Amino acid sequence: RKEVEQDPGPFNVPEGATVAFNCTYSNSASQSFFWYRQDCRKEPKLLMSVYSSGNEDGRFTAQLNRASQYISLLIRDSKLSDSATYLCVVNRPRSNDYKLSFGAGTTVTVRA
């Protein structure tokens, strides 16, 4: 089983729509969760960390469900510039080991 699994999409949405997607992680001991954004052939960039209580950053809302081992990302009022691949990232929990596991990504395309 992969450490992090995501629906690859693509999610094609019109501008202004809301889009949401989840990812699941296999290691219940994971403690740190992130969403990264990656544009085509570019480097991944941190979008937001995901906290237990859920957190919001502008139009982006992230939620964590530890019991079911999934995190979600919701994008409201989507913009053309939101078109990208969103990577679900989870830390690999071992002492002194801060390596990250990435999902394969969810592709979002926002159309005019």
Partner 1 sequence: GAGVSQSPRYKVAKRGRDVALRCDSISGHVTLYWYRQTLGQGSEVLTYSQSDAQRDKSGRPSGRFSAERPERSVSTLKIQRTEQGDSAVYLCASSLGGGTAYEQYFGPGTRLTVT
Amino acid at the residue 107: T
CB 9 → partner 1: shortest distance, Å?
12
- The residues near 4 (Cβ < 8 Å, ≥ 6 apart) are 23, 24, 25, 26, 88, 89, 90, 101, 102, 103
For partner 1, give the closer residue by CB, 4 or 108.
Answer: 4
Between 20 and 46, whose beta carbon lies closer to partner 1?
A: 46
Nearest distance, CB of residue 1 and partner 1, angstroms? 12
Radius of gyration, CA atoms only, the chain: 14
Q: Which residues bind partner 1 (CB under 8 A)?
A: 2-4, 6, 8, 31-32, 41-46, 87, 91-92, 96, 98-105
- Residue 34 or 63: the one with the smaller Cβ distance to partner 1 is 34
Residue 62 has φ and ψ, to the nearest 5°, of -115, 140
